[in-house]
Structure formats: C-alpha cells, structure tokens
Structure 1
Amino acid sequence: MTIDQLNQSKVPIIVFDKKLEEFKGKVLFPEKLKRANEILAKAGLPKVEIKK
C-alpha cells in the first residue's frame, strides 16, 4: 500500500511493540483471572443467536 492509500483508508493501522512478545502465554494477574473464571462459572455466558 502507498502512503496515500493508507491515509484514505478507514481501517486503523496498529503497530505492536515487539517487547510485548515476552508476555505471551503468561498470566499477569492470576487473582483477577481466578475471580473472572468464578463469575463466569456461576453466571455463564449469554446465549448468542447467529442469523444467517
């Protein structure tokens, strides 16, 4: 893509910092994850109806 095409595009351009790769697969907030899993286990996920 050229710069002009990028400027006219409606899609945002996102550049990720390569340093974030060190966190891939790690749980950074285990207490919060545990609590969120408990809440989801009790409440469950909403039913989603897929329209075709």
Structure 2
Amino acid sequence: MPQLNPNPWFLIMLLTWSVFSLILQPKLLSFFTTNTPSNMTFTPTKTSPWTWPWT
C-alpha cells in the first residue's frame, strides 16, 4: 500500500508548510490591519437567581 509509505509525503508536507509559513503568510498578513486595542470598562452583569418550580 503506497499511501502508508511516509517517505515522499513527509518531505512534501514539510516543504509546503515551510513555504506557507515563511513566504505566503507574511505576504497575506500585510493586507490585513489588526484591531487597535480599546479601553473598555468592565460592567458586571446582574444575574437573578433561578426560581425552581418544584420548591
């Protein structure tokens, strides 16, 4: 069964991931701007207790 032989496919996978990580990913990330952090105030939500119908 040739699909169980990892010899050629492992090298292809490593080369593909290295090309993606080193070349394509920085080029793609340069098109997207990251969100600037904003100062958000934390407002806790008020929860009401659960009323159980059988008590």
TM-score (norm 1): 0.27
Structure-2-length-normalised TM-score: 0.26
Which one has a bigger Cα radius of gyration? 2
